[in-house]
Structure 1
Amino acid sequence: MFIQKIKSRESGVLLYGITPPKAATAAERVAEIAERTTERLSLLDIDALIVYDVQDESARTTEERPFPFINALDPLTFASEYLGGLGIPKIIYRPAGKFSSEELTDWLEQLHEQSFYPVFVGVPAPDFPVKTSLPEAYQIWERHQETSVIGAVTIPERHKVLQDEDIRILDKMSSGVSYFISQCVFDLEYAKQVVADLAATCEKRQIAPPTIIFTISTCGSAKTLHFMEWLGIHVPAQLKQDLEAAEDMLEKSVRVCLEIASELTAFCMDRSIPFGFNIESVAIRKAEIEASVEMTRAIGRMLEDKGIRQSQASAIAKDANELSDTGSYVS
């Protein structure tokens, strides 16, 4: 189970991330999207599904947004009302600062009732009026810490500038956070630096490190690439040139993502950092969605081949054998 893997700091966690349909989407169409999503993901061996909270981040930068912002359905509503047929844990994002402590308390209760797990994120812009700070939000969550886990976001690009992501991670750990999901990784060196500095700081403080889950995403068009950069994702100049020059940008991006996943696997294993991957699928093009599914399978196989991850079928068989052995012993 997802919660057990996080609490035991087990490497090889595999997640899949999606955004809800647009808020103006007709209910019948939302149901169709949810049905397709359920069919697609039911065939994947993943530990949990992330449902993002879509925010308008236009105020964060002076650069014009590549795509117009359109409100999306509330992620909790979409997950609870439309994805009930998908029998895996759900991780729901929420910008804590946009809500009062009472609203967050009620929201966490709803999550807990359905065995969903929260990830608190920051507000859309630095000058956004904050109703509840992240430390306050974590305090509200504490009543669920025995039966839940809470995640947070880590941003390698921020570490490149401020050189303090390892400290931010440990500060949030002290508030109960046990796993961190990165912003989409296209700069391998940025991600490696976070891991290296976190490992060094944990060793210095004699603290067991948290699980770091790296987000991996395909890129199938120049517009998608531009949007990723607008979101603050750093794409190295040479890689950007290679993607733009590729005959098939989507295929090229998949190969790059698999290389990044392989490199990060070896890097984290060498430093005893528990880790996993979140394959993000936020595009609407069928080809990009299908590529994300195949990439999830490929990363899962890689983790299994390295002995880091056990498939769900193998885990079930192992549990059944252990139960049978126990039963024989008792009888």
Structure 2
Amino acid sequence: MLLKEKILNKNSGLLFYGLTPPKLNTDPEKIHTIAKKQIERLKDLNLDGLILYDLQDESSRTDAPRPFPFLSTLDPDTYAQHYLSELAIPKIIYKSIGKQNKEDFVQWICNKNGTTDTCVFVGAPSKNQHTKLALQEAYQIKKANNPQMLLGGVTIPERHLKKGDEHLRVFQKIENGCQFFISQCVYNLESSKNFLADYYYWAQENQKELVPIIFTLTPCGSVKTLEFMNWLGIDIPNWLKADLKHSNNILEESVEMCNKIAQELLDYARKKKIPIGFNIESVAIRKEEIEASISLVKTIRKMMNS
């Protein structure tokens, strides 16, 4: 089955891999080299799709200093078309709506009309950030100009612990045309299960259909990566932070935790027939962490097939 069919059929078991395109100032020859390595790593993984992120500066979200400087990256659409075309799997393009000019966005949407492209609209990281285009307006533009495009949304299960309304945000986005959701990286199992429970029971009480929720898992191979993940807003419980910081093998322990989270979410979702899947990524560019993420893909695939 095609990715679009699986999503529209609300299938469980979708498996994605997430990539950030190279930095904007990278030499074109080096970009080709990077792309070839990525294609080689991913081509035999039996993925349902490849996610290409559209990074935006998130400094408005927090007063804490960014562990690494923000550097703009290649447009994910451009990277997919010109560098990763040999990789014969569907591409899911992230689009950071807040940095889009309305006229350019309308033109982009219209150029995609009639294709099977899949896109995820991402809102601004905070209310304090100045935006050129609102997320709600982007939904309306997409609906008017390209209703065929498969549309995904972002969900943040950790936010559910604080506000208790993440499931309602998801259903509101479904009303706006979102047909699946990809989470921010999850390390807090309790918040993810709480979100799934409210998502499920609210749907039951209000006669709403459930759409696939794709949980993102990310290996952590160093204290620096841990600090960066924390800055990104990934909620890592204090006990787990302490265990990882003092571990003799932080990468191995983090992968073990990712596996435990995946298994518990799968067990919970299967009992209630909630369609879920996973997106594996590496926020670091260190070879060890990338290889760990590839290994995690294989493990999660076996887990979902068992």
> What is the TM-score when the length of structure 1 is the normalising length?
0.89
Q: Residue 26 and residue 191 in structure 1: after superposition, are their counterparts in 2 closer, same or farther (change >3 A)?
A: same
Q: Which residue of 1 aligns with 2:35?
A: 34
What residue identity is the alignment partner of 2:142? W
SS at match of 2:159: helix
Whether the 8 Å contact between 1:98 and 1:132 is mirrored in structure 2 is yes
> What is the TM-score when the length of structure 2 is the normalising length?
0.96
What is the root-mean-square deviation in Å for CA atoms of aligned residues? 1.3
SS at match of 1:238: helix
Question: Following TM superposition, by how much is the alpha carbon of 1:187 offset from its aligned partner in structure 2, in angstroms?
Answer: 0.4
SS at match of 2:71: coil
Whether the 8 Å contact between 1:21 and 1:72 is mirrored in structure 2 is yes
Q: Which residue of 1 aligns with 2:209?
A: 208
Q: Which residue of 2 aligns with 1:49?
A: 50
Q: Which residue of 2 aligns with 1:144?
A: 146
Q: Residue 111 and residue 228 in structure 1: after superposition, are their counterparts in 2 closer, same or farther (change >3 A)?
A: farther
Measure the CA separation in 2 of the matches of 1:112 and 1:246.
Answer: 50
Whether the 8 Å contact between 1:216 and 1:279 is mirrored in structure 2 is yes
The 5 Å alignment of 1:253-292 reads: 253-292=254-293
Whether the 8 Å contact between 1:216 and 1:257 is mirrored in structure 2 is yes
Question: Following TM superposition, by how much is the alpha carbon of 1:270 offset from its aligned partner in structure 2, in angstroms?
Answer: 1.7
Q: 2:248 matched to 1:230? A: no
What residue identity is the alignment partner of 1:154? T
Whether the 8 Å contact between 1:14 and 1:300 is mirrored in structure 2 is yes
Question: Following TM superposition, by how much is the alpha carbon of 1:111 offset from its aligned partner in structure 2, in angstroms?
Answer: 4.3
Measure the CA separation in 2 of the matches of 1:192 and 1:79.
Answer: 33
Cα deviation digits, residues 214-243 of structure 1 (max 9, x gap) = 000000000000111111111111111111
Measure the CA separation in 2 of the matches of 1:81 and 1:211.
Answer: 29
Q: Which residue of 2 aligns with 1:67?
A: 68
Q: Which residue of 2 aligns with 1:304?
A: 305
Q: Which residue of 2 aligns with 1:119?
A: 120
SS at match of 2:179: strand
The 5 Å alignment of 1:111-190 reads: 111-112=112-113, 115-142=116-143, 143-145=145-147, 147-190=148-191
Measure the CA separation in 2 of the matches of 1:68 and 1:113.
Answer: 38
Cα deviation digits, residues 67-97 of structure 1 (max 9, x gap) = 1111111111111110000011111111112
Cα deviation digits, residues 39-79 of structure 1 (max 9, x gap) = 11101111000000111111211111111111111111111
Measure the CA separation in 1 of the matches of 2:43 and 2:113.
Answer: 23
Question: Following TM superposition, by how much is the alpha carbon of 1:110 offset from its aligned partner in structure 2, in angstroms?
Answer: 4.2
Q: Which residue of 1 aligns with 2:95?
A: 94
Whether the 8 Å contact between 1:3 and 1:148 is mirrored in structure 2 is no
SS at match of 1:264: helix
Question: Following TM superposition, by how much is the alpha carbon of 1:157 offset from its aligned partner in structure 2, in angstroms?
Answer: 1.8
What residue identity is the alignment partner of 1:78? Y
Question: Following TM superposition, by how much is the alpha carbon of 1:144 offset from its aligned partner in structure 2, in angstroms?
Answer: 3.1
Measure the CA separation in 2 of the matches of 1:130 and 1:239.
Answer: 36
Q: Which residue of 1 aligns with 2:105?
A: 104
Q: Residue 98 and residue 60 in structure 1: after superposition, are their counterparts in 2 closer, same or farther (change >3 A)?
A: same
Whether the 8 Å contact between 1:186 and 1:234 is mirrored in structure 2 is yes
Give unmatched runs, 5+ long, in structure 1: 306-331
Whether the 8 Å contact between 2:225 and 2:283 is mirrored in structure 1 is no
Whether the 8 Å contact between 1:196 and 1:271 is mirrored in structure 2 is no
Whether the 8 Å contact between 2:212 and 2:274 is mirrored in structure 1 is yes
Measure the CA separation in 2 of the matches of 1:102 and 1:274.
Answer: 36
What residue identity is the alignment partner of 1:180? F
Question: Following TM superposition, by how much is the alpha carbon of 1:159 offset from its aligned partner in structure 2, in angstroms?
Answer: 1.3
The 5 Å alignment of 1:72-83 reads: 72-83=73-84
Q: Residue 179 and residue 44 in structure 1: after superposition, are their counterparts in 2 closer, same or farther (change >3 A)?
A: same
Q: Residue 248 and residue 110 in structure 1: after superposition, are their counterparts in 2 closer, same or farther (change >3 A)?
A: farther
Q: How many residues were matched structurally? A: 304
Measure the CA separation in 2 of the matches of 1:238 and 1:43.
Answer: 36
Cα deviation digits, residues 100-157 of structure 1 (max 9, x gap) = 3322222224445663211111124322223222222112222433x43100100012
Whether the 8 Å contact between 1:212 and 1:274 is mirrored in structure 2 is yes
Larger radius of gyration, structure 1 or 2? 1
Q: Which residue of 1 aligns with 2:197?
A: 196
Measure the CA separation in 2 of the matches of 1:210 and 1:175.
Answer: 13
Q: Which moved more, 1:68-77 or 1:191-200?
A: 68-77
What residue identity is the alignment partner of 2:146? H
Give unmatched runs, 5+ long, in structure 2: none
Measure the CA separation in 2 of the matches of 1:25 and 1:227.
Answer: 22
The percentage of aligned residue pairs carrying the same residue is 46
Q: Which residue of 2 aligns with 1:313?
A: none
Whether the 8 Å contact between 2:117 and 2:150 is mirrored in structure 1 is no
Whether the 8 Å contact between 2:122 and 2:154 is mirrored in structure 1 is yes
